[in-house]
Amino acid sequence: MKLVFASFLFSISILFSGCSSESNLPTDKTISTVKKQPNILFVMTDDHSRHAISAYGSKLVNTPNIDYIAKSGVLFNNCAVTNSICGPSRAVALTGKYSHINGFKDNRSKFDGSQQTFPKLLQKEGYHTMMVGKWHLHSKPQGFDYWNILVGQGQYYKPFMIENGDTSEIEGYVTDIVTDISLEQLAKRDQSKPFCLMYQQKAPHRNWMPNVKHLDLFANDTLPIPDNFHDDYDYRSDAASEQDLEVKNMYMSFDMKLDPKSFLENDSAEFKDRTGSEYKYPNETGTGGSKTWDPVFNWKYSYDRLSAEQKKEWDEHYKPISDEFYQSSYSEKELAEWKYQRYIKDYLRCIVSVDENLGRMINYLKKTGEWENTLVIYTSDQGFFLGEHGWYDKRFMYEESLITPFIMKVPNVDSAIVNNDLVMNLDFAPTILDYAGIPIPPDMQGQSIKPRLEGETFEREGQYYHYYEYPHGWHMVKKHYGIRTDSFKLIHYYSEAEEWEMFDLNNDPQEMNNIYNSPDYKNKQAELNQLLIELRTKYKEVD
């Protein structure tokens, strides 16, 4: 019933949404159904797993404000990213095109800002466009009336930000700051235009530094550990066992926030050994620094950004943990689980801040009467491992990393719909343009989800994926591509040894047992191979 009602409302708004700008809208105020083009609030967080959102059934944390969007809209259970890593995913969201088409394949890439993006198209059609927070595309934002971005990955405390080209250091905690600036700009904007705000948080990206006011959350809890935390990677490709994603190898200083007194040499040597190369930490202007990436240096750099008062609160929380650690001894297994608890608690504290700040944003839109006519998208640049397979981070085509949270409230409809279609982050740009009544450029590779929410079917046989960042970069996940259907997944690793994996997602949702070349699945395997070839052709992949 709700869908039918939604469809009726949409059909009314469609009558007027084909207009190219607000100035063309009918002005007869007696037509009560006339709406201006919807505002767009695009909320993107960084590395936010669905398993840390209560609307998705999280056993770890409550996120009432994210859940509120789900209660007012549509929760998507199967939204895949095309390439599970920060910069590339953002480039896909902006362009509606795969990495090999938009040119941003891994985090070393520089985004060609001259290309077509959905904010540019919105701006051209009369929108007031704003971009605040994490950008991470290494080139100047284009297509925005206002932009204020974090330098590089951004810092949790006293971050460097670039406002329309000018860099400064902002006192405070990053999640609050990004929200403060966003609310200020919403208030200052040209109220005669619909707005598009890209509100993009750094949190909960590594190294998960909470706001000091949230340090005591979960402090006395023992949080549940995933069933497959102690995965031995049997029955999987070598790529699964040869990665560098394991929680047990997290840094004691940078990740665990322990006093680094005995880790200086160990951490540095360990890091260089594992990667065979050195990393550059961006300097304050974001132009690339000369400092070799070192966990202790980076931990000190992050910690020193706290004010004296913040450091006092911080130390009151972490010093007893640090002292206790140095006085204890742990088996390898105990240490891995201890690290998991340390990791997950800081991660979740960062999420609580994200959720509280989202609440501020929702309240503002309600108070100013904009909520009803705003299209709200909540998503992350990709999923994240929260201890599944013993891992953190992303990159792999496995479910936790591939499937990203995607919750969307569409204007003037209040309904809690759960959707299981094979949607993708490739679809964000065409969907936003469709709701704004702007024609979708034919070269965008995604498809609008709007017709689906008006009662039509959504056609996509499989989700095509391609990850490129190897052997340079972090975490040593080998290059691979593959497809996911509603029941199966096929993955091809190709950067060193050629390896294939296939999973039966219904019978093996944790992806523990590779069934590639199993006689029981011979026909299904042939079918998936054929679909993979078709999708590679469709999306213009060239070997």
Rounded CA-CA distance 402/361 in Å is: 28
Q: What is the DSSP letter of 184?
A: H
H helix intervals, 83-158: 86-95, 99-102, 118-124
Q: Which is nearer to Ca ion, 38 or 210 (CB)?
A: 210
Q: Which residue is nearest to Ca ion (CB)?
A: 86
What are 171's two structure tokens? 């006192």
Sequence-distant (6+) residues with CB within 8 A of 73 are: 376, 407, 408, 409, 410, 413, 415, 416, 417
Q: Which is nearer to Ca ion, 47 or 255 (CB)?
A: 47
For the CB of residue 394, give the shortest distance to Ca ion in the complex, in Å: 7
Q: Which is nearer to Ca ion, 381 or 388 (CB)?
A: 381
Residue (of 301, 343, 307) closest to 212 by Cα position: 307
Q: Are 197 and 40 in contact (CB under 8 A)?
A: yes
Residue (of 63, 21, 42) closest to 118 by Cα position: 42
Q: Which is nearer to Ca ion, 46 or 434 (CB)?
A: 46
Given strand 128-133, what is the order of strands in its sheet?
A: 166-169, 160-163, 146-150, 128-133, 195-200, 39-45, 374-380, 406-409, 74-76, 417-419
For the CB of residue 265, give the shortest distance to Ca ion in the complex, in Å: 30
For the CB of residue 135, give the shortest distance to Ca ion in the complex, in Å: 12
Q: Which is nearer to Ca ion, 47 or 145 (CB)?
A: 47
Rounded CA-CA distance 47/95 in Å is: 20
For the CB of residue 436, give the shortest distance to Ca ion in the complex, in Å: 26
Q: Which is nearer to Ca ion, 46 or 125 (CB)?
A: 46
Rounded CA-CA distance 521/435 in Å is: 42
Q: Which is nearer to Ca ion, 47 or 511 (CB)?
A: 47
Residues in the chain: 543
Residue (of 412, 415, 388, 390) closest to 402 by Cα position: 388
Rounded CA-CA distance 341/521 in Å is: 39
For the CB of residue 92, give the shortest distance to Ca ion in the complex, in Å: 12
Strand partners for 408: 74, 377
For the CB of residue 255, give the shortest distance to Ca ion in the complex, in Å: 16
For the CB of residue 384, give the shortest distance to Ca ion in the complex, in Å: 8
Binding site for Ca ion (CB under 5 A): 46-47, 86, 381
What are 362's two structure tokens? 């929702």
Q: Is 63 helix (H, G, I), strand (E, B) or coil?
A: coil
For the CB of residue 14, give the shortest distance to Ca ion in the complex, in Å: 35
- Tokens 């990709």 belong to residue: 382
Q: Which is nearer to Ca ion, 194 or 387 (CB)?
A: 387
Q: Which is nearer to Ca ion, 88 or 96 (CB)?
A: 88
Q: Which is nearer to Ca ion, 86 or 397 (CB)?
A: 86
For the CB of residue 300, give the shortest distance to Ca ion in the complex, in Å: 24
Amino acid at 383: G
Helix (H) or strand (E) holding 167: strand 166-169
For the CB of residue 466, give the shortest distance to Ca ion in the complex, in Å: 17
Q: Are 90 and 136 in contact (CB under 8 A)?
A: yes
For the CB of residue 48, give the shortest distance to Ca ion in the complex, in Å: 8
For residue 304, how many other CB atoms are within 10 A of its CB? Answer: 10
Q: Which is nearer to Ca ion, 45 or 58 (CB)?
A: 45
